[in-house]
Structure 1
Amino acid sequence: MPITIDILKNHPESISTLAQQWLLTIGKWEPDASHEDIKKWLHEWLNESTPMAFVAFDSDHPIGMCSLQFNDGLPSTLMPWLGDLFVFPEYQRRKISVQLMEAAKYQAKLQGFHSLYLFAPDQTIPNYYMRLGWQKMSEDRYNGQVVTVMSCEL
């Protein structure tokens, strides 16, 4: 079966699995976050518009996600933000993250936004996004770490 992308609102039963993988994949940048914290955030994204989350599925198994938020934790007036992007390790290198990003970009454009923003907490990540058309804007700090703020036109 092909990989499908849908909004988290349609799959709340996936929250616990996604929260666990979130902690394993990107939790190092939120060291104080617990499984319950992440589940709470995911419940806040059970919407059809921003803030919301998109989930990638292989059959009925969640294999990745991203969020579309008004703010992703930086002191900024820019919006919306792509955040929380991850794909389970065994599904990486299949362009699933690109499908998730495209879903978020499409939704942001439908909501009348002209740009989308993200921050990359690891200095190796901006090159990946730049290959996909994102532009570096600036650097900032998140949880004491230098992050690269990026944007893309919708």
Structure 2
Amino acid sequence: MRSDITLQRLRAEDPNAEVVAGWTFSAWGHLHPGLTLEQAIERTKAKCGQAGVPSIFVAIQNETPVGTASLIADDMSTRRELTPWLASVFVVPEWRGQGIASALVRRVEAEATAGGFGRLYLYTPDQQALYRRLGWQGEENIEYRREHVTVMARQLDQ
């Protein structure tokens, strides 16, 4: 990742919380029928924890947000027994391919490890190759909210 990009914990009062909510709403809002952008902003702000679960991280370049990732308790209503989850990994299209997503994933993994978790989960319809490169393993392929997704897990170093 470029040296001029930093990873920061997102705070609810940070104006970037609305930017991050807009990204994730645009990318995945279709998975939550009936959810409005205003509700998505409130949900995002509610997930801006001080540490541990939940937490949201944002990649910043010269005070401009360029990516985000979250650590949340559960991300799949059909797999509530699995916790915690890496979620909402997003990088602005023109910033992709520079290691930002990988750095955000590693930051969430570190937060989960610091919280005492031994395993972390995610689901993705199309980014399996990225996560495999980062040490994640496929657990199962299922249909979730009308999308074919892979549930993946990563064993965390304690």
* TM-score, normalised relative to structure 1: 0.89
Per-residue displacement from partner, 1:31-90 (whole Å, max 9, x unpaired)?
543211220111111212201111110111111111101100232211110001100111
Note closer, same or farther for the CA distance 1:93–1:31 as it changes in structure 2 (3 Å cut).
Answer: farther
Whether the 8 Å contact between 2:12 and 2:45 is mirrored in structure 1 is no
- 2-structure distance, mates of 1:91, 1:132: 19
Aligned-pair CA distance for 1:153: 1.2
Query: Equivalent pairs: percent with the same residue?
Result: 29
Task: Tell me which residue corresponds to 2:112.
Answer: 108
Whether the 8 Å contact between 1:15 and 1:39 is mirrored in structure 2 is yes
- 2-structure distance, mates of 1:26, 1:4: 25
| Residue 50 (structure 1) aligned with residue 53 (structure 2) | yes
Q: What amino acid is the match of 2:111? A: Q
2:78 counterpart SS class: coil
1:25 counterpart SS class: helix
2:11 counterpart SS class: helix
- 2-structure distance, mates of 1:140, 1:74: 13
Structure 2: segments with no counterpart, 5+ residues: none
* TM-score, normalised relative to structure 2: 0.87
Whichever structure has more helix as a proportion of its residues is 1
Task: Tell me which residue corresponds to 1:66.
Answer: 69
Note closer, same or farther for the CA distance 1:107–1:128 as it changes in structure 2 (3 Å cut).
Answer: same
Structure 1: segments with no counterpart, 5+ residues: none
Task: Tell me which residue corresponds to 1:13.
Answer: 15
Task: Tell me which residue corresponds to 1:82.
Answer: 86
Whether the 8 Å contact between 1:5 and 1:55 is mirrored in structure 2 is yes
- 2-structure distance, mates of 1:26, 1:85: 11
Post-superposition, which runs of at least 4 consecutive aligned residues in structure 1 deviate over 4 A? none
- 2-structure distance, mates of 1:150, 1:5: 24
Aligned-pair CA distance for 1:18: 1.4
Note closer, same or farther for the CA distance 1:64–1:89 as it changes in structure 2 (3 Å cut).
Answer: same
Aligned pair count reads 152
